[in-house]
Structure 1
Amino acid sequence: MRVKRLFLIFAVFVAAAALSACGAAGSADNSGGAGQASGGQGSQRQETPEQAEKQPEDKKMTEEAKDQQVAPEVGTGGDAENEGNKLEPAKDKTLRLTVPKMAEIKNDEIPTGKGTNEALLRDNAAIRLPYTGFPWQEEANIYIAGHRIGFPGTNSDLAFYDLDKVGNGDKVYVEDSDGRRYTYEVFEKKIVEPTDLSVLKRVEGKNILTLQTCTLPDYTKRLIVKAELKGIEGA
């Protein structure tokens, strides 16, 4: 994936004017930070994941992108680690993530941190939000968010760039610190507003995993991929 950056040297000059306009729009939509979007949700055109995939691609981490909040600060479900567990909780809560359809996500370490913790988001491929679930729970929504473009020379560099290639039926794998491997199957992909916190909710009776990143080219919306737990190895 990183090789693709070499092709941007020429493209960035050609697209400079257009990207400037997109960046300005993104800044206006998100300058208020968490939970704010100018103009209201009703004034913004809703996009399907397929439409988002056709957007012009800007692989340069713009100043506007750096200023965007990648994810909600925390989840809403609570870390009820000893309530409703299917398995004994792992002693170390750090997870590892593998997504075969994503070039950069291969056994990447996923720490827990707030969506506003830019240092943690910069230095890791993604983070799990506090007060969201764990894979060993009976009912949970494990919410993992990462940068679409990221920062060169760090683990966030293009980490979630190709999340748009993940679709229904694709597999996602999570491993806990005790060596148990959880297999998830994607069942939903959609675009939402940054203010839409419904994506943090649990699904009754299910253990699901949510992957989230920003849309291109202006980072104003969020690409959401949801997967359901289908199997556990090493339990």
Structure 2
Amino acid sequence: MKTRHPRSMTGKVFEGISFKKYARKFLIKTLANFLILYSVYMIVWVFYEPALAETRYWYDQLRGKTYVVVEPAQFKTTEPPPQRGLLTDILEGQTVEKLSPVDPQFSLMIPKLAANTRVIENVNSADEKAYLDALRYGVAHAAGTGLPGSGRHIYLFAHSTNTFANVSRYNAVFYLLYKLEAGDEVDIFYRGQRYTYTVTGKLIVSPTDVSYMTRQTNGEFLTLQTCWPPGTIAQRLLVFAEPAGQSGEKLSLR
């Protein structure tokens, strides 16, 4: 009796192996390929935004490009200028770009990082659902902390603490925060008024350390919080700033 061998979809005979063995090998190979592709997808999902932000930042540095914050009234329309893509900048060779607040009622702008985002006021930092919802639309202002012009400690944050993969969804605005150095400019527009701050220092702390949120300062002071390292939720990076031209409380690194 002639032995029948399993055939592939192309009709090729697989000699020396049973159909069950072939099916098992095919299943294992398919599963392995799926896991590899899924792993690559997850890596891209988590680190795509940080990589894009880093590329844009270094390209701007190489070209000597700068960003200048301007009042909304300096534009002919009430809408801020459209966001420009990296390809557009390459083609046009523009080295100075104006930043107008996305929302004059409450926005944060950092010229060095080309950051321009809405701030969601009075967000409960202890309510995960509340702050994750807020971070879908911009940076969160911690409820109970000061507001621009109040003479108190202002605390703004953008971070995710539920799952590692969600960092790319909630933390994009502050990916480059670690590049800020003493003397860099930070601007906040609040109720149509512009407030300018100067960076004084930065600090890396444990995610469970909330003492810097509740701390008291002698005068108005700004703290920006994000996750550290970029694209993870392992620690927290804090950047401190004081009103420009005001000699207030300065914090040094530990």
Coarse TM-score class (shorter-chain normalised): 0.5 to 0.7
Equivalent residue for 2:113, pick from 102, 111, 127:
102
Question: Shift of residue 95 of structure 1?
Answer: 2.1
Report whether the alignment pairs 1:225 with 2:239. Answer: yes
- The answer for the alignment partner of 1:184 in structure 2 is 197
Q: Distance in 2 between matches of 1:113 and 1:203?
A: 19
Report whether the alignment pairs 1:59 with 2:47. Answer: yes
Q: Distance in 2 between matches of 1:188 and 1:229?
A: 13
Give the gaps of 5 or more residues in structure 2: 1-35, 50-104, 161-166, 247-254
TM-score (norm 1): 0.53
TM-score (norm 2): 0.49
Q: Distance in 2 between matches of 1:108 and 1:182?
A: 15
- 5 Å-filtered alignment, 1:20-169, equals 58-59=46-47, 95-103=106-114, 105-115=115-125, 116=128, 117-138=130-151, 140-147=152-159, 149-151=167-169, 156=170, 158-169=172-183
Question: Shift of residue 231 of structure 1?
Answer: 5.5
- The answer for the alignment partner of 1:172 in structure 2 is 186
SS in 1 for 2:111: coil
Seen in structure 2, the aligned counterparts of structure 1 residues 135 and 221 have a Cα distance that, compared at 3 Å, is: same
Seen in structure 2, the aligned counterparts of structure 1 residues 175 and 118 have a Cα distance that, compared at 3 Å, is: closer
RMSD between aligned alpha carbons?
3.2
Q: Which has the larger radius of gyration?
A: 2
Give the gaps of 5 or more residues in structure 1: 1-12, 21-57, 62-93
What is the total number of aligned residue pairs between the two structures? 145
Seen in structure 2, the aligned counterparts of structure 1 residues 122 and 201 have a Cα distance that, compared at 3 Å, is: closer
Report whether the alignment pairs 1:199 with 2:187. Answer: no
SS in 1 for 2:178: helix
Seen in structure 2, the aligned counterparts of structure 1 residues 172 and 193 have a Cα distance that, compared at 3 Å, is: same
Q: Distance in 1 between matches of 2:121 and 2:140?
A: 5
Q: Distance in 1 between matches of 2:190 and 2:135?
A: 22
Q: Distance in 1 between matches of 2:117 and 2:135?
A: 17
Q: Distance in 2 between matches of 1:157 and 1:132?
A: 21
Identity value in percent: 31
Greater helix share, structure number: 2
Question: Shift of residue 225 of structure 1?
Answer: 0.3
Q: Distance in 1 between matches of 2:172 and 2:187?
A: 19
Greater strand share, structure number: 2
